[in-house]
Amino acid sequence: MGKKYIRETYANDVSFTIEVEQHLHSEKSRFQQIDFYQTETFGTVFTLDDLIMVTEKDEFIYHDMICHPAFAVNPNIKRVLIIGGGDGGTAREVLRYPIEALDMVEIDERVVRLCQQFLPLTASSFDSDNRFNLLFANGLEFVANAKTGAYDLIIVDSTDPIGPGEGLFTAEFYRNCYRCLNDSGILINQHESPFYTRDCREMVRAHSKLKKTFPIARIYQFHMPTYPSGHWLFGFAAKSLDPVQDFKPAEWGSFNLQTKYYNLDLHPAAFMLPTYLKEILKGVK
Amino acid sequence: MGKKYIRETYANDVSFTIEVEQHLHSEKSRFQQIDFYQTETFGTVFTLDDLIMVTEKDEFIYHDMICHPAFAVNPNIKRVLIIGGGDGGTAREVLRYPIEALDMVEIDERVVRLCQQFLPLTASSFDSDNRFNLLFANGLEFVANAKTGAYDLIIVDSTDPIGPGEGLFTAEFYRNCYRCLNDSGILINQHESPFYTRDCREMVRAHSKLKKTFPIARIYQFHMPTYPSGHWLFGFAAKSLDPVQDFKPAEWGSFNLQTKYYNLDLHPAAFMLPTYLKEILKGVK
């Protein structure tokens, strides 16, 4: 308690620092170190194991991009599973759609309870909604036991692949996700970043597993200022729907949703990757 | 001399830090503080007034994006003016095209001489090329005295709008650029970033002047990890050519250039901006 700086290391010799106005809370749960800070530029900042997860200033970018592209490819998504996502931001965006059911499986109840206390901007989604079923369980085990074809969309909103999120980056996990999705099913996952060596290695690992499991495994990018390098990726994997060819702008438009980062011009654009990234991905087996 | 860290401040309470292996050179020229550092992750890093200008690791992103989009909109560019660009990276990319003449006006000769010594990756462009005319002069005065319609392309590769680059962000400067361009003329300029308050204010100022001067004033974005927030912009202003509608992929393809960031899919995509940025720009008068 009482930290004066949030300092995140991007490489041995590279770091990003935010001055702390007030260290709001610090707690070691069964799974991880959880902290909340008050800062001038970013408002509330939430970290897990000293890695920045959510800031009030730029969370809209991440949560727009993890949710809306899938609904613009399959506007009939009705049954959604979120793995992780304990801050509530992903659920908040998903619940804006006329879905029937959202299951969310978060391993660490303390993350949810503390976000309810310190980060209502995202955690407001935990307020009562009949469609929302929140479980505190292991995501890996949950998908292993879930019904075949049960979901239209699975969003893996996990921490980085070190710590409690680690199991979520295994081949077995992705195979179970594939099984739990119906024929038009889509999986969105954290896909790290191509720039710094550590992130790039994890990007390659994640992509390799997706590529082996799903016939369609694309990547899209967005500008996320508080993640390493600001160049962050999500994976879009699917059984039959291509995120660009099967993009349905008019149908998404009819949802009439206001968004702050995502828009219909940006959707196909986000899948157009720089050459150096395409070349890394081309080499992934 | 002998700094152990490069620390760039993004906001009062936010900074980015790179550990220094060796502080290669430090010098105060007539215009600014110039430093070169050896670092592990980024190779050589070049700073002006303690702001990161170029790193060996990500300079290709900036120099690809400042140069290639213009040539893919007007493949017949023959006469080019670069204002600033003392590290040589922009000239390096421009000289890959079959142009007739490149004038480059850099205010600070010391930047060029030191980049030749410490940053050959970009400064190799200063090696003998009959088409390349390098002048050490004030860019503002140069364009005030340049011939009407003399150029097909002007690239304003300036430092931030504080310090010696300041005059380059005035309305008078842009009016003179307009006059020096022919009817199919294109101006590319540094356009800062929408995220942090200081950069966003400069973005709005730059855009306001472009918008008042050119009938076409668009913005495009790219992922630049060593600039604040990683979300960086260039302006594309033109008398008659629209960067998306007049995009000529086949003609650009016939140049047969290998690039590391830019590609033909990315070109139109880079002009598709997130909603929050579009809304800021919409309000610019």
**How does pLDDT run across B67-112, given as a tens digit for each residue?**
999 999 999 999 999 999 999 999 999 999 999 999 999 999 999 9
Per-residue pLDDT of B11-34, as tens digits, reads 999 999 999 999 999 999 999 999
Of B14, B21, B261, the CB nearest to A276: B261
Could you tell me the two tokens for A19? 């001055």
Domain residue ranges in chain B? 5-55, 59-282
Selected catalytic residue, list B157, B183, B199, B246: B157
Query: Does position A103 have pLDDT exceeding 90, yes or no?
Result: yes
Query: Does the distance separating the beta carbons of A276 and B14 come in below 8 Å?
Result: no
DSSP letter string over chain B?
---SEEEEEEETTEEEEEE-SEEEEEEE-SS-EEEEEEETTTEEEEEETTEEEEETTTHHHHHHHHHHHHHHH-TT--EEEEEE-TTSHHHHHHTTS--SEEEEEES-HHHHHHHHHH-HHHHGGGS--TTEEEEES-HHHHHHHSPTT-EEEEEEE---SSSTTGGGGSHHHHHHHHHHEEEEEEEEEE---SSSHHHHHHHHHHHHHHHHH-SEEEEEEEE-TTSGGGEEEEEEEESS--TTTT--HHHHHTT----SS--TTHHHHHT---HHHHHHHHT--
Closest alpha carbon within chain B to A60? B276
Per-residue HEC secondary structure of B112-177 comes to: HHHHHHHCHHHHHHHCCCCCEEEEECCHHHHHHHCCCCCEEEEEEECCCCCCCCHHHHCHHHHHHH
Sequence-separated (6 or more) residues with CB below 8 Å from residue A80: A94, A99, A101, A102, A103, A151, A152, A153, A154, A155
CB atoms within 10 A of CB A4: 10
What's the topology of domain A59-282? Rossmann fold (3.40.50)
Q: What is the mean pLDDT of chain A?
A: 95
Query: Does the distance separating the beta carbons of A260 and B276 come in below 8 Å?
Result: yes
Per-residue pLDDT of B116-165, as tens digits, reads 999 999 999 999 899 999 999 999 999 999 999 999 999 999 876 556 66
A5-55 is classed in which CATH architecture? Roll (2.30)
Could you tell me the two tokens for B120? 């050959």
CB atoms within 10 A of CB A24: 18
pLDDT band, residue A166 (cuts 50/70/90) = low
A-chain CB neighbours of B45 within 8 Å are: none
The DSSP secondary-structure symbol of A210 reads H
Bridge-partner residues for B5, per DSSP? B19
Given CB atoms, is A282 within the 8 Å cutoff of chain B? Answer: no
Given CB atoms, is A3 within the 8 Å cutoff of chain B? Answer: no
Per-residue pLDDT of B243-257, as tens digits, reads 999 999 999 999 999
pLDDT band, residue A161 (cuts 50/70/90) = low
Given CB atoms, is A255 within the 8 Å cutoff of chain B? Answer: no
Question: What's the CA gap between B244 and B259, in Å, rounded?
Answer: 20
Question: What's the CA gap between B21 and B1, in Å, rounded?
Answer: 13
Query: Does position A159 have pLDDT exceeding 80, yes or no?
Result: no
B157 among known catalytic residues: yes
Query: Does the distance separating the beta carbons of B262 and A274 come in below 8 Å?
Result: yes
Given CB atoms, is A247 within the 8 Å cutoff of chain B? Answer: no
pLDDT band, residue A55 (cuts 50/70/90) = very high
Residue from A265, A280, A282 whose CB has the most chain B CBs within 10 Å, to mutate: A265
What angle do the packed helices A275-282 and A197-213 form, to 10 degrees? Answer: 50
